[in-house]
Chains A and B, each alone.
Chain A
Amino acid sequence: MEQKLVALSGNEAVAYAFKQAKPHVASAFPITPQTEMMHKYAEFVANGESTTEMILVESEHSAMSAAVGSAAAGARTFTATSSAGFALMWEVVYIAASLRLPICMALVNRALSGNINIHCDHSDSMGGRDAGWIHLFCENAQESYDNAIMAWRIGEHMDVRLPVMVNYDGFIISHTADSLKMLPDDAAYDFIGKYKHNYSLLDVENPVTVGPLDLTDYYFEHKASQLAAYDKVPGIVEKVSAEFGDLTGRHYDLCEEYKMDDAELVMVMLGSSAGTAKDVIDEYREKGVKVGLLKVRMFRPFPNALIAKALAGRKAVAVLDRSASFGGFGGPVFTEVRSAMYGQKVPVNGYIYGLGGRDFDMKQTESVIQNLQKVAAGGQLDDVNLLGIRA
């Protein structure tokens, strides 16, 4: 498939990807760094390049509520937000998943207040990690575009029917011009396909009740059905990604393994910092250090068995979190990976890095690799460490 090589910011790339899905409805409220994405989308609509009905709401709580209403009416729907905007959506974020509505959302990752900060970390998405959405994380503009195309196919698959969140790092990806390949509009839409709904509030011939009162007699059964839905997700994500790979030549898995074949030391992380880590890994590989990277693309549902297998038999593992879990045992990714590694004798240490957009630089990556070497040689290290902080 011939694809155009373009230079776009991550926000523009995702706006194009969403446009190519021909969504019926988009609802959104502006918040930095997401604003530019919806700004671009509004431009498409104003210029007649998209027929999406845009609902400009007065808050993110309403943005997600409008998205839920629209999806329940049987429309292909998306929204986008960041940070405090996602926090304000929170109540309705759960409802979207519980009602099994395949809404797509761009979550342009930004730190939560306070103090107020507009830069990247993953504390916004991690606040909603138990809400029932599928969480995809991206390393650059290309991956953001690709995941924003695949998200529709994944969420709307009849065996899935769940909302999908495409996470990409605020400013680092959203506002940085990057080169990427884009599918032609027709090819993208052919891949995504026409929207199908399971029920519609507007179908008066087949009336339905959506979101009824659900007390002690049924709530638990409904949650049991919802829990069962996540078992099917990894297989569908793999299938859709394989088809996408055949079409574009860009291949994705639930996790990306970088120089993992013979790696004794492994870093695990999400998002844009994986790019920095790869460069430093290359340098250390030249020095003969067997270090690799496991980049988690799909954080929810968490691919625990796959990760446990990928990390089995390594000499030391470092899990890097771009968010803190206050009062918890390490960051969210660390907690999950440690738990997935239960019963294995592989030392797993956690790091918290890059909060509020603090640069994740090569020096920090080097210090992680040096710590991995130390741990592999039997040295001691705290379970959870802060990276790149003035101590």
Chain B
Amino acid sequence: MSFLKNSELHEGGVIKEAGNAHEYKTGDWRTFVPQFIEENCIHCMFCWIYCPDTAIEIDTSGDKPLMKGIVLEHCKGCGICAHECPPAKKGKSALVMIREEK
């Protein structure tokens, strides 16, 4: 991401642009990364509700929202989604944490 110069900042360090956390990429903080196993997903939206960031991508075009995957630019690898993901299909979860290898 690019940084603003001091002449471009608002007085007093105030931020006037709402919802700008989306532009702040936090993906490189991660050690573990969630793997999305689509065939195990029942689209319950628990991961979307529990994610402390905006790292769960969903499709809301249909009648019911569908889990699409992880936004890796924002996922910090906290693992909450995998913890909350119910093993609904034959005891298997749709989200599993693995160590991210560079």
- Interface residues, chain A, with chain B CB atoms under 8 Å away: 98-101, 161, 198-199, 206-212, 214, 217-218, 221-222, 224-225, 228-229
Top 9 A-B residue pairs of the complex, sorted by shortest distance between their CB atoms: A100-B12, A221-B6, A209-B15, A99-B12, A224-B6, A222-B13, A225-B6, A207-B18, A100-B11
Is the CB–CB distance between A211 and B11 below 8 Å?
no
Q: Which listed residue, A210, A217, A228, A229, touches B14 by the CB 8 Å rule?
A: A210
A207 to B12 alpha-carbon distance, docked (Å)? 15
Is the CB–CB distance between A222 and B15 below 8 Å?
no
Is the CB–CB distance between B14 and A218 below 8 Å?
no
Is the CB–CB distance between B18 and A222 below 8 Å?
no
Q: Which listed residue, B3, B5, B12, B16, touches A217 by the CB 8 Å rule?
A: B3
A217 to B12 alpha-carbon distance, docked (Å)? 16
Is the CB–CB distance between A218 and B3 below 8 Å?
yes
Besides the known contacts A221-B4, A221-B6, 18 further A-B residue pairs in the complex with CB atoms under 8 A apart = A161-B11, A198-B11, A198-B14, A208-B15, A208-B16, A209-B14, A210-B14, A211-B13, A212-B13, A217-B3, A218-B4, A221-B5, A222-B9, A222-B13, A224-B6, A225-B6, A225-B11, A229-B11
Shortest CB distance B10–A (Å):
8
A35 to B9 alpha-carbon distance, docked (Å)? 40
Shortest CB distance B44–A (Å):
32
Q: Across the A-B interface, how many residue pairs have beta carbons closer than 8 Å?
A: 47
Q: Which residue, of B4, B12, B15, has the highest number of chain A Cβ atoms within 10 A?
A: B12
* Interchain residue pairs with CB less than 8 A apart (5): A209-B15, A218-B3, A221-B5, A225-B6, A225-B11
Closest A residue by C-beta to B18:
A207
Within 1-28 of B, Cβ neighbours of A (below 8 Å) are at 3-7, 9, 11-16, 18
Is the CB–CB distance between B12 and A98 below 8 Å?
yes
**Which of chain A's residues have a CB closer than 8 A to the CB of B18?**
207
Closest B residue by C-beta to A201:
B14
**Which of chain A's residues have a CB closer than 8 A to the CB of B3?**
217-218
Closest A residue by C-beta to B7:
A225
Shortest CB distance A112–B (Å):
29
A210 to B7 alpha-carbon distance, docked (Å)? 18
Q: A217-B3, A221-B4 are in contact. Are A208 and B14 (CB under 8 A)?
A: yes
A101 to B12 alpha-carbon distance, docked (Å)? 8
